[in-house]
Amino acid sequence: MRRLLITVLLALLIPLSSFALPNPVLEGYKSPSKAALFSLIIPGTGELYSNAKRGYLFLALEAGFIAAYIAMDRKSDQLRDDYIEEIKRNVGFDGIPKEKWAEKFEEWTMEDFEHATMFDNWRNVYTDQAPESEKGIPLERVGKFYWLDRESVKNEKLPPDQHTSQLRQRALKLREDSNTWAKRAKTALGGLVLNHIVSFIDARIAAKLHNKKLSTRAALRIEGEEVSTSAAVCLNF
């Protein structure tokens, strides 16, 4: 009878003692949703919230991609401005007084400047008869442009191999370089977006792994305390 009483008391004491202890799982728990949200906004912060040091890597990548994008985009814009200036300095208009050339360029769109880097004169893009609906940009607005080092053929429709203006080729090279840097900037921007997505997913995983470790440690701690309590009861008896 006495042995039965001790067994019942032991069964009651063990769960009560476990319940009374602070719950380490709840105290150190990290919300996976919160971690993911942190990293979606600023990559790496969700991992750091979950005590995962790899969050610093995501932060470094974020800073690197932002710096790269800004630098490359700025370089692209600078080269674009340079080739536009090359065109304004070295392209003239047939039938328009020289003092009016600068005003004519004010009517041009970016597409017009791009066309100017591809051909030595206007005839390979526009014609006298082309309606606005067909070409999109009427010749009256664009003007009969030509590169100054090709004035002798300013109104001739040239085959591809006879577009030999050195001034135009210099502007074309600047335009190509501008496009190259623009593509690099887009790549950096893509890396920036990808870093947010990967960190968003990883932060959620990091939080779950963190919580799993806490659960394992808590289980071991409770198991150890149960053994200690049982031993103490037996000794007291």
> Which pLDDT value is given to residue 17?
38
> In angstroms, rounded to a whole number, what is the distance separating the alpha carbons of residues 10 and 101?
101
Residue 187 has pLDDT above 80, yes or no: yes
What digits encode the pLDDT tens for the residues 137-170?
Answer: 578 889 999 999 999 999 998 998 999 999 999 9
> Which pLDDT value is given to residue 214?
87
> Which pLDDT value is given to residue 236?
54
Question: Which of 180-186's residues contact partners 24+ apart within 8 Å by CB, and which partners?
Answer: 181/72, 181/73, 181/75, 181/76, 181/79, 182/72, 182/73, 182/76, 184/68, 184/72, 184/76, 185/68, 185/69, 185/72, 185/73, 185/76
Helix (H) / strand (E) containing 62: helix 55-90
Main-chain dihedrals φ then ψ at residue 101, nearest 5 degrees: -60, -45
What digits encode the pLDDT tens for the residues 55-108?
Answer: 999 999 999 999 999 999 999 999 999 999 999 999 999 999 999 999 999 999
> Which pLDDT value is given to residue 126?
73
Residue 16 has pLDDT above 50, yes or no: no
Residue 145's DSSP bridge partners are 93
> Which pLDDT value is given to residue 222?
58
The residues spanned by each domain of the chain are: 31-224
| DSSP secondary structure letter of residue 126 | -
What digits encode the pLDDT tens for the residues 33-51?
Answer: 999 999 999 999 999 999 9
Q: Is 0.75 topped by the overall pTM?
A: no
The token pair at 109 is 């769109």
For the chain, the distance separating the N- and C-terminal CA atoms, rounded to the nearest angstrom, is 14
> In angstroms, rounded to a whole number, what is the distance separating the alpha carbons of residues 76 and 179?
7
Number of other CB atoms surrounding residue 227 within 10 Å? 11
